[in-house]
Amino acid sequence: MSEDRILVQIASYNTNLQAERGLPQDLVDWLAPTLQVSNFLSREPRAPDIVAVGFQELLPLHLGLSGLSGRVIDSRNDLILSQIEQHAPNKEKYTLIAKVVNVGVALLVYGRDDGVGKRVEDVQTQWTGCGPAYMGNKGAVGVRFRVPTENGGVGEVYTFVCAHLTAHSHKLAQRIDDYHYIASSLLFPPTASSASSEPTTMFSTSHLFFFGDLNFRLTSMPIDPATPKSLLEQRVNALLSDEDSRKELIKQDQLHVERDLKNTCFVGFREGEFWRFKCTYKYKLGEVDKYDMKRHPAWTDRIMYTSYSDSPDSPQTSSITNALYTSIPSYTTSDHKPVISVLLLPPSQANSSTSPPLLRLPAHYNPIPDRLAPLKKYTGRTLDRLIGYTWWLLYMLGAGSAIMGIGNFILGFGVWSWFKWRSVGGPELPTSV
């Protein structure tokens, strides 16, 4: 019965540096999709047991680098919590399990008060940066927690990772490197129930969810390169409006090729049929359904998952039921569209072990924790703050423009230097006799 299985709802959105302007006040289309799938799940409408909401480009970069994200993330938390409770089928209440943010990548995870929310233990948050010199303009944040069984058993561990990887079509190799760096540096300390004292990777869990703006692109589109610009948008929209045509584009999707055919990244992860919805990037701001032809459209925003009951010998199948996987076209303040997935986990297994069940990975894949990860992440954060505070100061000096701030700084420094030079013995002005 589906009622006995944990229902997880995951939402991800690159808000295009919009801070508090990045979301409409009504989030029902994005955060209450279980209304659409309630008949599939059970005879009665059912609210999710866990809700995870991830953001990328949460706020302007100078604020993110400075670490001045507290007000924005608190505002988002208040809005999200009020919306998921307002639109819950049976007015269920939720508790914030954890929130974590690094520069512009943020993750908030909630649990239902009448279940997961009251039983959760060993809550942990982590972050890592994979930008230049390990800065956090690109990277990932993670939340991990354990949910014991109702009879007091050790239960299962849940790990959620929200990421933002390197952009641009030609930087595929760098995106793959980003992923492997995250896999080795997003490290969680051992839990109270762990037999080891060593930090663990994101794979030391019962269920793993990885999502965000992963920036994988389409290598090409079946459109004549000589197509006049006046017709290009029209033909792209016609191509992407047809589900059969989108399915053909799977062969050009970098993430599908690298994960499922070449096994260069995301080994062990499963994903729903992303081609059933239109590409989530790059849209014209303010438009529901018009692409900006400065970039080829692509499915940059993705949600993947795997469970301990998934077999490494069957990488295309999962014990997790993907009840819904789609994008939300109605949000127009970003060049990305939000994505949402509703996942029905396999039935929990009663166990008398002192350790939770863990993922099974292919024999050839053994991610090893980077022992220099703490040094690297704090090196990156130090650079974040130095650049962020400098940028923020210039932004303030320029009344909202860093370029104007630089000009004002140079002008002010010049005036100050001139007065100082005069005060210590600059040339005397000629006097009349």
The answer to whether 38 touches 17, Cβ cutoff 8 Å, is no
Residue 43 pLDDT: 56
Whether residue 428 lies inside any domain: the answer is no
Digit-coded pLDDT (tens) for 194-222: 666 789 999 999 999 999 999 999 998 88
- Stretch 281-310: mean pLDDT: 94
- Stretch 406-433: mean pLDDT: 51
* H or E element, residue 147: strand 139-147
Provide the pLDDT confidence category of residue 35 given band limits of 50, 70 and 90.
very low
3-state secondary structure of 326: strand
Digit-coded pLDDT (tens) for 115-127: 999 999 999 999 9
User: What is the Cα–Cα distance from 362 to 63, expressed in whole angstroms?
Assistant: 41
User: Between 1 and 349, whose confidence is greater?
Assistant: 349
Whether residue 380 lies inside any domain: the answer is no
Number of domains in the chain: 2
Partners of 271 in the beta sheet?
Answer: 304
Whether residue 211 lies inside any domain: the answer is yes
Give the range among 94-98, 190-194, 225-229 with minimum mean pLDDT: 190-194
**Confidence check: pLDDT of 169 > 70:** yes
Contacts of 6 (CB under 8 A, 6+ apart): 49, 50, 116, 147, 344, 345, 348
- CATH number at 192 reads 3.60.10.10
**Confidence check: pLDDT of 185 > 60:** yes
91 and 206 fall within a common domain: yes
257 and 318 fall within a common domain: yes
Provide the pLDDT confidence category of residue 67 given band limits of 50, 70 and 90.
very high
User: What is the Cα–Cα distance from 19 to 317, expressed in whole angstroms?
Assistant: 38
**Confidence check: pLDDT of 420 > 90:** no
248 and 394 fall within a common domain: no
260 and 367 fall within a common domain: yes
Residue 34 pLDDT: 54
User: What is the Cα–Cα distance from 213 to 348, expressed in whole angstroms?
Assistant: 30
Provide the pLDDT confidence category of residue 264 given band limits of 50, 70 and 90.
very high
44 and 171 fall within a common domain: yes
282 and 414 fall within a common domain: no
The answer to whether 335 touches 167, Cβ cutoff 8 Å, is no
410 and 281 fall within a common domain: no
User: Between 403 and 304, whose confidence is greater?
Assistant: 304
Give the range among 159-173, 275-289, 342-356 with minimum mean pLDDT: 342-356
User: What is the Cα–Cα distance from 342 to 107, expressed in whole angstroms?
Assistant: 17
User: Can you give the residue range of the structural domain that contains 406?
Assistant: 387-422
Whether residue 259 lies inside any domain: the answer is yes
Residue 427 pLDDT: 56
Digit-coded pLDDT (tens) for 228-255: 777 888 888 888 999 999 999 999 999 9
Whether residue 381 lies inside any domain: the answer is no
Whether residue 431 lies inside any domain: the answer is no
274 and 332 fall within a common domain: yes
Provide the pLDDT confidence category of residue 318 given band limits of 50, 70 and 90.
very high
**Confidence check: pLDDT of 416 > 90:** no
Q: Could you please report the per-residue DSSP string of 181-204? A: HHHHH--BPPPTT-S--S-B-TTS
Residue 224 pLDDT: 72
403 and 323 fall within a common domain: no
What's the whole-model pTM score? 0.90
- Stretch 34-50: mean pLDDT: 65
3-state secondary structure of 18: coil
Whether residue 432 lies inside any domain: the answer is no
- Stretch 70-90: mean pLDDT: 90
132 and 222 fall within a common domain: yes
Whether residue 427 lies inside any domain: the answer is no
Digit-coded pLDDT (tens) for 326-379: 999 988 889 999 999 999 999 987 766 788 999 999 988 989 999 999 999 999
Residue 229 pLDDT: 74
Closest CA to 344 of 26, 25, 16, 50: 50
**CA 199, 209, 145, 318 torsion-angle sign:** negative
**Confidence check: pLDDT of 87 > 60:** yes
Residue 108 pLDDT: 98
73 and 151 fall within a common domain: yes
356 and 391 fall within a common domain: no
